[in-house]
Structure 1
Amino acid sequence: MSTPSDTDASVKTSVEDELRWSPDVDESRIGVAVQDGAVSLFGEVEDNSARLAAERAALRVHGVTAVAVDLDVRPTSERRVSEEELAKEVQHALTWADNVPDTVKATVEKHKVTLSGEADWDFQREAAERAVRHMRGVHRVDNRVTLTPRVSADDTEERIRQTLARNAQLKSSDVEAEVSGDRVILTGTVKSFSARRQAEQAAWGSPNVQDVENRIHVRPWRKDDGA
């Protein structure tokens, strides 16, 4: 039987291989550390797109239970963009994005984009972030967009549970949803980050939800788990 340190060493090697395999990541500037399945990425990347790509690559690896990203964005001189140019391009991107309401605004400071304002749905809040996070010159995005308050419905919890039960990646016994007012707490265990994300998106699908706290643990499948 493998010891935890052996497993961590195997996960570390797999993450390094996945970073090396990913064409949108320069793995030579990224270090990897693993403890109990939790991966830490450190070092430098060219832009925020590479930072996000490195995180996605680590999340794809079997055995990874969490990913912490401590990657500094250090662009080369030919890719530098002034904050004035960036602020204009960010506003342009938000204006032309189909799913971003006019109530969402952006400020730029030290190449970090801060989004603020209100949206009716979580998908609109995510659309605002997607519109700007891959732009040249963006180092980080701080999404502070809030959702427009609504009156809570009595059947919100049951509807979320039904949605979880319908999902192909989830079993009804895997995840539990507890609703308190307009806040949902998700608990349980799933076998992948994709399933964890699916559960969270299911909760955000309710028009009465203002906040989702995702406490779901990722426990990758192992050979001794059986069928």
Structure 2
Amino acid sequence: MKEDWKIKQDVEEELEWTPGVVATRIGVEVANGIITLSGHPASYAEKLAAEDAARRVSGVRAVVVEMEIRLPHHDVRNDADIAGAADTLLRWTAGLPAGAVSVQVEKGHVTLRGDVDWAYQSHRLTRGIARMRGVTGVTNAIRVRADLAADDIGDAISRALKRHAEREAKHIDIKVEGGTVTLTGKVDSASERDAARGAAWATRGVTAVVDNLEFT
């Protein structure tokens, strides 16, 4: 098992390597493989990028986020401007029917509501909004329609896991009830957990993923 000092060193190097993250703005502490990120990223996008960077490092068991966004003065936008820009992004998103998703903005925090056919559409919209200037947070309240049988969903996830991460596929059990997928089993790192969760979320008909994966 990787020691905490090594995990801390690797996370700090990953932050320095990650585009869009200024590592000097982010503090890193480690205890038993659990990372705590502190500091003041200059945008919501930078905050998300720092979280993703920490999760990519092998040996990281979990990430605790204590960062607080401090927008530079030139990036501050009023809520009306953010709402208008977000609405434009939705209207220009390929494959998204007009009016399928609505936007609400309060003090820079964007809430998305509506219905889509695929979970990836929901995630893509969230990430797109997160990268906009002036945004301080995003709440994804978009619902994904469940239109496949449970057996079909489970088989699709199993095949995806074998294609993406064959080792993990041998150690993960998949249970589907309606559109809810429950993952159980053993993984070695946060990156392996993300691979399993990503395969589940990328499958049509999945409306929720319950992560009961444990670290070895």
TM-score (norm 1): 0.83
Residues 140-171 of structure 1: CA deviation (Å, up to 9, x unaligned) = 1111101124363455434433443x324133
CA RMSD, aligned part only?
A: 2.3
Are residues 1:131 and 2:112 paired? no
In 1, distance between residues paired with 2:28 and 2:187? 24
**Structure 1 residue matching 2:28: 3-state secondary structure:** strand
2:60 to 36, 59, 64: 64
Q: Is the contact made by 2:119 and 2:206 (CA closer than 8 Å) also made in structure 1?
A: no
Amino acid at match of 2:211: N
Q: Is the contact made by 1:94 and 1:132 (CA closer than 8 Å) also made in structure 2?
A: no
**Structure 2 residue aligned with 1:209:** 206
Quick check: 108-117 or 68-77, which moved more? Answer: 68-77
In 1, distance between residues paired with 2:181 and 2:204? 12
Residues 192-207 of structure 1 aligned to structure 2 (within 5 Å): 192-207=189-204
**Structure 2 residue matching 1:130: 3-state secondary structure:** helix
Uncovered stretches (5+) of structure 1, i.e. residues with no partner: 220-227
Are residues 1:27 and 2:19 paired? no
Are residues 1:112 and 2:109 paired? yes
In 2, distance between residues paired with 1:175 and 1:38? 22
Quick check: 32-41 or 59-68, which moved more? Answer: 59-68
Q: Name the structure, 1 or 2, with higher relative contact order (CA <8 Å, separation 6+).
A: 2
Q: Is the contact made by 1:104 and 1:128 (CA closer than 8 Å) also made in structure 2?
A: no
| CA gap 1:16/1:159 in 2 versus in 1, 3 angstroms | closer
| CA gap 1:34/1:179 in 2 versus in 1, 3 angstroms | same
In 1, distance between residues paired with 2:83 and 2:170? 47
Residues 4-153 of structure 1 aligned to structure 2 (within 5 Å): 7-102=3-98, 103-150=100-147, 152-153=149-150
Instruction: State the structure with more CA Rg.
Output: 1
Structure 1 vs Structure 2: percent identity of aligned residues? 35
TM-score (norm 2): 0.87
Count residues in correspondence.
214
**Structure 1 residue matching 2:68: 3-state secondary structure:** strand
In 1, distance between residues paired with 2:114 and 2:11? 37
